[in-house]
Amino acid sequence: CPTSPAAPLAFTMLQLTRVYRGNSMFRGNASLNGQLSHLLEENNVTQVLPLEPPDAWARRQNEVITYLKNFRQLVMLFNKERPTNFTHHLCCHLGCRLYPNGTVQSFYEVTLNRTAFLSFHVPSATWERRWPGELPVAAFAQEQLMKYPITTQDLQYFLNTTCVSILEAQSARTGKVSGRSRTPLVLGLVLGSFGLLGMALGIFLCTGGSC
C-alpha cells in the first residue's frame, strides 16, 4: 500500500521456524517500504525485487541455504540427545524505520510458541528476556547469544547502519535524500539466522533437563 509523505520508510524481515521431532520447517520474507523484496520457503530463498546483481545475490543465497542446512543438522543432533514429541514455533521479526526528520528506529523481536521470548536492545547491543516470569530456557538462550559478536555487535551494525542505508537508497528514488544503491538486503536474514541458532541451542539443551 502507498505510504503518506509523513510516514516512515521501513525495511522488515520475518522468519518463522517450526520444529517437530527433529524436523525443521522454514518460512519468511523481507519487505522494503511495504513491497515484498525476499521470500523464504523451506530450502529456497528468492529475491523478488532486483535489488542485487545476479553474482552478488548468488553469494547471499548460498549463505542462507548453508545456514538452513546447519540449523537442521543442529536440531537433529539435539533431538537425538533429548527427544521431544511436541512442536516449537520460533518467530523472529527485525528491521528498521527511517522517519522524515532523520530519526531512526531499529528492532529485533523473538517469540517462542507465540509468547514474547527475547528482544535485542539495539543501542547497547544486548539481548533482553521478555518471557513473563522465570524460564531457564530464556535465561540460557540469552546467555548464549551474548557470547558471540555476530549476534551482538554485528547485528547492531546491521540494524543501525546497513538497514538504514537500505532506506536511504529507497528515499533517493523519491528524491528525498541521497543514498547508496544495491545494499545486500539478505545480510539481515543471515545475521538473524545466526541469532536463531543461538536460541535453538538454548531451547533444545534446556528442554527436558537442566541448563
Q: Who contacts 179 (Cβ-Cβ below 8 Å, separation ≥6)?
A: 165, 167, 168, 169, 170, 171, 172
Choice between 208 and 87, residue whose per-residue pLDDT is larger: 87
What CATH number has the domain bearing residue 74? 3.30.500.10
Mean pLDDT of 61-83: 75
pTM passes above 0.85: no
Residue 61 lies in a domain: yes
Choice between 169 and 8, residue whose per-residue pLDDT is larger: 8
Q: What are the φ/ψ torsions at residue 193 (nearest 5 degrees)?
A: -65, -40
Q: According to the 3-state scheme, what is the secondary structure of 60-81?
A: HHHHHHHHHHHHHHHHHHHHHH
Per-residue pLDDT at 81 = 67
Residue 136 lies in a domain: yes
Q: Three cell numbers at 143?
A: 546467555
Residue 186 lies in a domain: no
Residue 209 lies in a domain: no
For the chain, the domain total comes to 1
Residue 45 lies in a domain: yes
Residue 210 lies in a domain: no
| Amino acid letter, residue 133 | G
Mean pLDDT of 159-179: 69
Residue-number span of the structural domain to which 16 is assigned: 9-177
Instruction: Dump pLDDT digits (tens) for 15-62.
Output: 888 888 888 888 989 898 889 988 889 888 888 988 778 887 888 788
Residue 127 lies in a domain: yes
Angle (CA) 47-63-10 rounded to 5° is 45
At residue 168, does pLDDT exceed 50?
yes
Mean pLDDT of 161-182: 64
Whole-number percent of the chain with pLDDT over 70: 77
Choice between 183 and 48, residue whose per-residue pLDDT is larger: 48
Mean pLDDT of 85-108: 88
Residue 199 burial by Cβ neighbours in a 10 Å radius (0-12, 13-18, 19+): buried
Mean pLDDT of 8-18: 88
Residue 2 lies in a domain: no
Per-residue pLDDT at 106 = 93
